[in-house]
Amino acid sequence: MRRRNRYPGAVQEITSPIPQYLSALLDAVRDEQSGHVADYIPELASADPNPLGIAMCTVSGRIYSAGDCDVPFTLQSISKPFAYALALQERGIETVMATVGMEPSGEAFNELSLDGKSNLPMNPMINAGAIAVNQLINGEDSTVEDRVEVIRSLMSDLAGRDLGFNESLCYSELDHADRNLSIAHMLRSYGVIRDTAHDAVLSYTRQCAIETTARDLAAMVATLGNGGVQPITGKRVLDPDVCRLTMAVMSSAGMYDAAGRWMARVGIPAKSGVSGGLIGTLPGQLGIATFSPRLDQEGNSVRGTMLFEKLSQQMGLHLMNPLPVGVHAVRAIEERGEDTVIVLQGMINFSAAESIIHEISTRDFSAHRLVLDVTRVVQVDGVGKRMLGSTLLRMRRAGYDIGVYDPEKRLLGLVLSDGTRAPRLKGLKGLKERLR
Ligand code: DON
């Protein structure tokens, strides 16, 4: 909410430059007319090829958008990573891996192919894998109707609103589903699925016909990047391990036979759909969704691909950009009377803990007591906690008294490697002076 405390001399509000940037990004690709709308589904063949929209959702739940970000379209293959996540969540990694692999296939999304050795679909992003994954949801004995409702409900939790189906598009696709029916027959003949080919394709096609907008999709994919908590509603929808695995498979197989080029040029785990949507997420940062129906030869949106390329290059959003996490984890080392206070800051993970240990182990301290001050630490992950615990123990074994100053309880549950705890200090001498 905006706070009304503007300086009387200010003439206008300070606004974010991001919406304007996104509009300019759309303008930069607007005139690109190459590619074709998908024509193997009659209702998609007659779709308007012109809409162009983009939305971005941060893991803090802020949405930025431009253009046709509220125009509804069907998920199609964009449903695949979310259905995969649901199957992982319900059935566990082992069961899912016994049904579908996680290697890029290097083939078209609708190829009639299985892994030569295992006779399993290569990955959950191609149709063969997605039809098999769909069958895992809500148990093998589920009716089509119940299974599809469980999927719709998960997609709704991810979007933060109740989603529905595009019925006419669904039945238009089912009338021309020979290819997916052959895939389902193939899966059944190898014992990968139990349902009839008809029911398996019906269930999968309804999953593909769930309707969303780019704005919904930005929040849905940001939920994966946020470890499973929907950033706007705050609801935990998926487990962090499930999200990590889903994003990993998206990064290797989400863009079909363009996956290698995509990772090099864009570097954002992504998934495309034949209705023109494209989603991507940078773990811990944001989710992005674009909508533009004309597709390239691989079945990926032409202008969507251009938008992602530009965003990645212009905004430094490539996954492989090095983030110097932990470089400045030790903010200061201060002598305070009898104590030496080691002031930590930021997020403490493996790399941050490593740099803290390096700082501590390469110094001589004159004070008798060493204190870790974690008031400026934002978060400590499990590895960071274990490493700080073992460092505190080494400090004690080296002959120092130890203590932690942790009023926000960032180190809650920290136990040293010998099972003892570090004394918690109620205050620090000279703290007021430092904060001022
Ligand atoms: O099964 C199909 O062919 C469609 N329902 C979905 C394919 C799709 O979106 C491929 N992605 N680019």
CB of 58 closer than 8 Å to CB of 286: yes
Q: Is 7 within the bounds of a domain?
A: no
Q: Is 377 a catalytic residue?
A: no
pLDDT tens by residue, 310-321? 999 999 999 999
Q: Is 153 within the bounds of a domain?
A: yes
Q: Is 204 a catalytic residue?
A: yes
**Residues 28, 53: one domain?**
yes
Expressed as residue numbers, the domain containing 311 is 17-315
**Residues 88, 210: one domain?**
yes
**Residues 172, 266: one domain?**
yes
Q: Kindly report the protein residue whose alpha carbon is nearest to atom 3 of ligand 1.
A: 110
Nearest-10 Cα torsion for 402, 407, 408, 412 = 40
Confidence of residue 2 (pLDDT cuts 50, 70, 90): low
Retrieve residue 328's tokens.
């400045």
Question: How confident is the model at residue 434, as a pLDDT?
Answer: 46
Ligand 1 contact via 273 beta carbon (within 6 Å): yes
Ligand 1 contact via 274 beta carbon (within 6 Å): yes
Catalytic residue among 59, 64, 65, 77: 77
**Residues 288, 163: one domain?**
yes
- Single-letter amino acid, residue 48: D
Mean pLDDT of the chain: 93
Confidence of residue 163 (pLDDT cuts 50, 70, 90): very high
SS3 40: coil
**Mean pLDDT of the 67-88 span:** 98
**Residues 388, 309: one domain?**
no
**Residues 355, 233: one domain?**
no
Which is the closest atom of ligand 1 to the Cα of 130? Answer: 1
CATH code where residue 364 lies: 3.30.750.24
Picking from 253, 282, 315, the residue at the C-terminal end of a domain is 315
Q: Is 367 within the bounds of a domain?
A: yes
User: What percent of the chain stands above pLDDT 70?
Assistant: 97
- Distance (angstroms) between ligand 1 centre and the Cα of 130 equals 10
- Single-letter amino acid, residue 379: Q
Site to substitute for ligand 1 among 40, 41, 73, 76, most atoms within 8 A of C-beta: 76
pLDDT tens by residue, 252-305? 998 877 888 999 999 999 999 999 999 999 999 999 999 999 999 988 999 999
CB of 169 closer than 8 Å to CB of 44: yes
E strand or H helix that includes residue 335: strand 330-336
Nearest to 311 by CA among 14, 49, 56: 56
Q: Is 351 within the bounds of a domain?
A: yes
Ligand 1 contact via 77 beta carbon (within 6 Å): yes
Average the pLDDT over each of 197-211, 244-258, 279-293 and give the range with the smallest value: 244-258
- Distance (angstroms) between ligand 1 centre and the Cα of 273 equals 6
Question: How confident is the model at residue 118, as a pLDDT?
Answer: 93
Question: How confident is the model at residue 347, as a pLDDT?
Answer: 92
Nearest-10 Cα torsion for 168, 302, 316, 18 = -60
Q: Is 167 within the bounds of a domain?
A: yes
Picking from 256, 289, 315, the residue at the C-terminal end of a domain is 315
- Distance (angstroms) between ligand 1 centre and the Cα of 145 equals 21
Which is the closest atom of ligand 1 to the Cα of 110? Answer: 3
**Residues 339, 311: one domain?**
no
Question: How confident is the model at residue 323, as a pLDDT?
Answer: 80
- Distance (angstroms) between ligand 1 centre and the Cα of 109 equals 7
Residue with the larger pLDDT of the pair 111 and 160: 160
DSSP code, position 287: E
Question: How confident is the model at residue 3, as a pLDDT?
Answer: 62
Picking from 288, 315, 342, the residue at the C-terminal end of a domain is 315
Q: Is 338 within the bounds of a domain?
A: yes
Nearest to 142 by CA among 80, 206, 93: 206
SS3 405: strand
Ligand 1 contact via 272 beta carbon (within 6 Å): yes
Q: Kindly report the protein residue whose alpha carbon is nearest to atom 1 of ligand 1.
A: 127
Q: Is 101 within the bounds of a domain?
A: yes
Question: How confident is the model at residue 10, as a pLDDT?
Answer: 81
Annotated binding site for substrate: 77, 127, 173, 180, 204, 256, 274
Ligand 1 contact via 73 beta carbon (within 6 Å): no
Ligand 1 contact via 76 beta carbon (within 6 Å): yes
Confidence of residue 364 (pLDDT cuts 50, 70, 90): confident
pLDDT tens by residue, 318-337? 999 988 777 889 999 999 88
- Distance (angstroms) between ligand 1 centre and the Cα of 41 equals 10
Site to substitute for ligand 1 among 274, 291, 292, most atoms within 8 A of C-beta: 274
Say what the pTM is: 0.90
Q: Which residues of 337-348 are buried (b: 16+ CB within 10 A; e: fewer)?
A: eebbbbbbbbbb
pLDDT tens by residue, 377-415? 999 999 999 999 999 999 999 999 999 999 999 999 898
Strand partners, 335: 340
| Dihedral class, residue 316 (left if φ above 0, else alpha if ψ from -120 to 50, else beta) | left
User: What percent of the chain stands above pLDDT 90?
Assistant: 82
Q: Is 435 within the bounds of a domain?
A: no
Q: How far apart are the first and last CA of the chain?
A: 28
Nearest to 131 by CA among 174, 211, 195, 74: 195
Give the other-Cβ count within 10 Å of 233's Cβ.
16
Ligand 1 contact via 305 beta carbon (within 6 Å): no
**Residues 257, 112: one domain?**
yes
DSSP code, position 428: -
Question: How confident is the model at residue 256, as a pLDDT?
Answer: 78
Catalytic residue among 29, 65, 79, 80: 80
Instruction: Annotate 125-189 with DSSP letters as a single string.
Output: TSHHHHHHHHHHTT-TT--HHHHHHHHHHHHHHHHTS---B-HHHHHHHHTT-HHHHHHHHHHHH
**Residues 298, 352: one domain?**
no
**Residues 193, 340: one domain?**
no
Nearest to 255 by CA among 107, 88, 73, 55: 107
pLDDT tens by residue, 97-150? 999 999 988 888 999 989 999 999 999 999 999 999 999 999 989 999 999 999
Confidence of residue 432 (pLDDT cuts 50, 70, 90): very low
Question: How confident is the model at residue 436, as a pLDDT?
Answer: 34
For 167, residues 6+ apart whose C-beta sits below 8 A from its C-beta are 209
CATH code where residue 149 lies: 3.40.710.10
**Residues 231, 375: one domain?**
no
**Residues 276, 388: one domain?**
no
pLDDT tens by residue, 167-196? 999 999 999 999 999 999 999 999 999 999
Q: Structurally, how many domains does the chain consist of?
A: 2
Question: How confident is the model at residue 135, as a pLDDT?
Answer: 98
Ligand 1 contact via 299 beta carbon (within 6 Å): yes
